[in-house]
Amino acid sequence: METFLGNVARSLYDEFGEDISSVRILLPNTRSRLFFLDELGRLIRRPVWQPRYTTVDEVMRSLAGYAPVERVRAVAELYKVYSRYHKEGFDSFYFWGEVLLNDFDQIDKYRVDADMLFSNLRDLKDMDGDLSYFNEQQRAVVRRFWEAFGAEEGYSDEKRDFLSIWRSLRTIYHEFRERLAELGLAYTGMMHRRAAERLRSGEVSADDGRPVAVVGFNALSECEKVLFDHLRNVCDARFFWDCDDYYMQDRHQEAGLFVRENIARYGQVAGFVNRTDNFVQPKEVTAVSVPSGALQCKYAADFLRDVIARQGYAGKETAIVLTDESLLLPLLYAIPPEAGEINVTMGYPLRQTLAYSFVERLLRLQTHARRKGGTSAFYHADVTGILSHPFVVELEPEQAGRLNSEIVARSHIYVKAADLRQGALLETVFTEHGEWREVAEWVMEVLSAVAGNGEDEEARLRYEYVGIISDTLRRLANSLEGCGVEMDVPVFASLARRMLQNLRVPYEGEPLRGIQVMGILETRNLDFRNVLLLSMNDDNFPGNPAASSSFIPYNLRLGYGLPTPQHHDGVYAYYFYRLLQRAERADMVYSSRTDENSTGEPSRYIYQLEYESPHTVRHREIGLDVGIAVPEPIVVAKDEAVVRRLERYLGSGGETLSPTALNTYLECPLKFYFRYVAGLKPEDEVVEEVDMPMFGTILHKTMELLYTPLIDVPAPEQTIGKLIGSDAVADTVERAISEVYFHGGETNRSEYEGNLLLVHDIVIRYVNGNLLPFDSRLRDFTVAALEQRLTAPFAFGPKGKHAVTFSGLADRVDRIAGGRIRIVDYKTGAPHTDFAGVAALFGKESGERNPAVLQTLLYSMMVTRMQEAGEMEGTDVCPSLYYVRLMNRPDYSPLLNLKDGRSITGYGPYREEFEAYLDGLLTEMFDASVPFRQCGDTRPCTFCDFAPVCRR
């Protein structure tokens, strides 16, 4: 097919022949250079020297005499100037510093008078004379902006803040540039402006005696215009512009906004043969609506298969253009094998590599580290993240796995560094550094330790990624060191992330072969027969430039000729139409999904093609079958394997059943199967906040520690009364927290964080205000045991054919009047002491059951059987529930209450009925013909660990 670069190559070769090596060719990007060389290679008949290729930045740099400054160094130097006028920390300044640097860059590229731009309302009269080089419209825009501010005494806080910074920007701009000039450094705009000034003054020249060809540019800054003027006037430059009559002759078409001006100013090479009616030639144009990004990539695979079916190949005449780089990896996975070779221009995002994720975790480790009493400790999530990272698991699998398990088991929130330094690698990793220079060196040292030197592809890639990261961190450290700005570790970590996240690792390949995968900027000057554009949503292409940050308001940008949203639209319109003008087929895919990131609207350019162009836009809508199938009920039959597992609970030597297990079966037989038969359980994790189970455990442990000295002490109520409000209670709560929450670690209240402080105070209040006062009013009781293990067999089935052993841990066992035993169970949840009857406890409706009552009655059953076996003294058992929230009420009773108003003072009268229902439940549980089914009542599914399995 005929291409723009092919026409340029032919024109230059016709003029210079084999002397084409004497030509300097100015191109907008490297990719254009490669394709131009390929086109030139088709014309020459014998080996010749290549032309000399260059870019605008290279020319400007040679003319300006400055070295380019690292962006971080530039922002740091800018901060040193800015901080003389405004008090702000470097961490909070950095974002605004980048915004300000971008503004300065554009001011210089467009040769704006900074003194006039950064004037203010008080200078308005003086400005009139200085704006003489503006046209009337520009002058009106600038005056209108400042007049809108009105009288200064009526300014809002926002206007005062804006003007406070604005009035200092003129001085900051000049001092910043002077500082960089002293160092021999410059940002891009400063370099361009310096080169333009030297060209205009005649101090330097771009003429080296060679003819120049300027190929395929579009929007030009004022500095670039100065350069191009010089090339035209001094260097006899030839200008080649790629355009089409469709958007050039229609003044309303923004695609021709800049090229029309360029051709009028510089002309086109005489005799240059370049067809300009390509856009109106027949094209197959399709707009495709898909509901997700993943389906865009799937459509790309179908697109390539169709191209291959039509042409027999795809090759370099086919381009897939990504306007959203996040689709690169899904696209590469979606491209079918028959597509053949692929050439990716965009590069692999470093932030999506394991090497970057490892560095991210290292930086988090140092950012969240803390030091107390001379001891370093690291946040648990950062530690487990590193220990589970593939780089560490590969080198230290045993130590990493063991340490991970210990951290989760002991619920450490912060882990002491000394406990982690096991092995050479872990000793290097888990070392705290409080200064950013140390952190930079430490990260590079750790990366060197995990880099590896294997010969396989994975090891080679890891070594390359690690090398790129280390080089970047070294440059960052050198830049920061050179400007002398002090910062803390979190700020350094933020800067490192910012630099690393923008890096791309170039793909290896043959650029002139295979399907071309590229971004929109890489398409400049290139032509393709088949074009697929992905993510053609309006908020993505052309996007919303007004959302970008700038200190310079829109009206001033417009008045002073700086880029505005209209400039942005003109640039992207040219990219779009130029890409399509020689294409025979163009498919544009957009996502119709509406969310916080997208409106789901197709690009305005799709509408323009449909309503303005001579082409018929065919619309396709790819749907997604969202029919939700009702999940089939899950039923687990009790086959031979399941029965064998169940039999572990049968007989005196088997496993025991707990009240919790029985309640689980009543709640949902399938959940019982998952947890107690199949042995599944949720993965353990460190819980930072004190949840309700942990709160209850702390309170239980507190009462155990307080009452242990009272075991077998007759009439302990007076001693209990003396504990109320004493230091012993607070000390005991802290001891309970140390044993339960910190797993025996040495801690004190000064180390409590988050809601642990609140829990500490609430437990003290419950103990002093509810539990102890209630027990101090009791008479004729003795604490017999605390946290006592209760165990009793239970025969069930016809003639007691089978038997299970129930086992549980009673919070407290008291001896009370009449030789009876009282079972006390502490409850910190919502009070629920009444129930409809024994039958309701074994019912299928969750609202009718009362797990707390059932548990207490099971304890009573176990104690009764232990009494009958002579393992425990007593005549009957009184089940009691201590709901600590209510125990400060004068009328509170811990007895179990039936809804008919009766209270259960002993287990004996209810034993026969209770054990009959228990017999029936166990018979069903172990009946091989009764499968495990999902519960019919879905209320318990809300907080079930296995809900994702059941899809409820």
Token reading at 173 = 């701009």
- Please give the average per-residue pLDDT across 334-345, as a whole number: 90
What 3-state class would DSSP assign to 377?
strand
Token reading at 144 = 């209108």
- Please give the average per-residue pLDDT across 52-65, as a whole number: 95
CA distances from 205 to 52, 102, 510, 553 (A): 18, 28, 37, 36
Query: Which residue type, as a one-letter code, is found at position 61?
Result: R
502 — pLDDT class (breaks 50, 70, 90): confident
In degrees rounded to 5, what are phi and psi of residue 538?
Answer: -65, -35
Q: Which DSSP letter does residue 527 get?
A: -
Contact 469, 355 (CB under 8 A): yes
| Each residue's pLDDT tens digit, 861-892 | 999 999 999 988 888 999 999 999 899 998 89
pLDDT of residue 165: 82
| Each residue's pLDDT tens digit, 372-406 | 667 888 988 899 999 999 999 998 999 988 998 88
DSSP H or E stretch at residue 385: helix 380-387
- Please give the average per-residue pLDDT across 465-473, as a whole number: 93
Contact 232, 239 (CB under 8 A): yes
Contact 71, 97 (CB under 8 A): no
Taking CB atoms within 8 Å and a gap of at least 24, the contacts of 897-905 are 897/833, 897/834, 897/835, 898/834, 898/835, 898/836, 898/837, 899/834, 899/835, 899/836, 899/837, 904/878, 904/879, 905/878
d(CA 944, CA 952): 10
d(CA 538, CA 680): 48
300 pLDDT higher than 70: yes
The label of the residue with tokens 């089940």 reads 879
Which residues lie closer than 8 Å to 153 by C-beta, 6 or more apart?
none
pLDDT of residue 128: 47
952 pLDDT higher than 70: no
282 pLDDT higher than 80: yes
857 — pLDDT class (breaks 50, 70, 90): very high
pTM for this entry: 0.74
Closest CA to 225 of 258, 255, 253, 188: 258
d(CA 272, CA 525): 16
637 — pLDDT class (breaks 50, 70, 90): very high
Contact 247, 256 (CB under 8 A): yes
Q: Considering the chain, what percentage of its residues have pLDDT values greater than 70?
A: 91
Contact 525, 242 (CB under 8 A): yes
- Which residues are 806's β-sheet partners? 657, 792
Closest CA to 764 of 890, 892, 884: 884
Tell whether the torsion through CA atoms of 222, 223, 227 and 228 is positive or negative. negative
Contact 907, 860 (CB under 8 A): yes
Q: Within 10 A of 641 (CB to CB), how many other CB atoms are there?
A: 9
CA distances from 584 to 36, 310, 385 (A): 21, 13, 51
Token reading at 374 = 């001379």
628 — pLDDT class (breaks 50, 70, 90): low
Q: Which of 404-408, 604-608, 856-860 bottoms out in mean pLDDT, i.e. has the lowest?
A: 404-408
d(CA 696, CA 612): 71
Contact 24, 52 (CB under 8 A): yes
d(CA 29, CA 73): 26
476 pLDDT higher than 60: yes
Tell whether the torsion through CA atoms of 408, 414, 419 and 421 is positive or negative. positive
Token reading at 646 = 């169940």
d(CA 845, CA 500): 57
| Each residue's pLDDT tens digit, 192-226 | 999 999 999 999 999 988 999 999 999 999 999 99
| Each residue's pLDDT tens digit, 666-684 | 989 999 999 999 888 876 6
179 pLDDT higher than 60: yes
pLDDT of residue 147: 59
Closest CA to 582 of 276, 307, 815, 849: 276
Angle between helices 457-483 and 354-367 (to 10 degrees): 40
On average, the pLDDT of the chain sits at: 88
| Each residue's pLDDT tens digit, 5-18 | 999 999 999 999 99
Q: Which of 227-231, 312-316, 773-777 bottoms out in mean pLDDT, i.e. has the lowest?
A: 312-316
121 — pLDDT class (breaks 50, 70, 90): very low
Query: Which residue type, as a one-letter code, is found at position 187?
Result: Y
Closest CA to 390 of 433, 442, 452: 452
User: Using CB atoms within 10 A of its CB, is residue 653 exposed (0-12), middle (13-18) or buried (19+)?
Assistant: exposed
- Please give the average per-residue pLDDT across 33-62, as a whole number: 93
d(CA 684, CA 42): 66
pLDDT of residue 129: 47
738 — pLDDT class (breaks 50, 70, 90): confident
- Please give the average per-residue pLDDT across 316-330, as a whole number: 90
DSSP H or E stretch at residue 181: helix 157-183
d(CA 283, CA 578): 14
Token reading at 753 = 């964080």
Q: Strand pairing of 348-349 and 504-505?
A: antiparallel
Closest CA to 126 of 116, 137, 141: 116
Q: Strand pairing of 414-416 and 284-290?
A: unpaired
Length of the chain: 952
| Each residue's pLDDT tens digit, 890-949 | 889 999 988 888 899 999 999 999 999 999 999 999 999 999 998 877 777 877 888 878
* N-term to C-term CA, the chain: 58
Q: Strand pairing of 635-636 and 318-322?
A: unpaired
pLDDT of residue 292: 83
747 pLDDT higher than 50: yes
DSSP H or E stretch at residue 200: helix 188-201
Query: Which residue type, as a one-letter code, is found at position 595?
Result: D
CA distances from 575 to 136, 216, 538, 582, 705 (A): 31, 11, 15, 13, 76
What 3-state class would DSSP assign to 802?
strand
User: Which of the two residues, 952 and 338, has the higher pLDDT score?
Assistant: 338
774 pLDDT higher than 60: yes
In degrees rounded to 5, what are phi and psi of residue 378?
Answer: -120, 150
- Please give the average per-residue pLDDT across 251-279, as a whole number: 94
Q: Within 10 A of 819 (CB to CB), how many other CB atoms are there?
A: 11
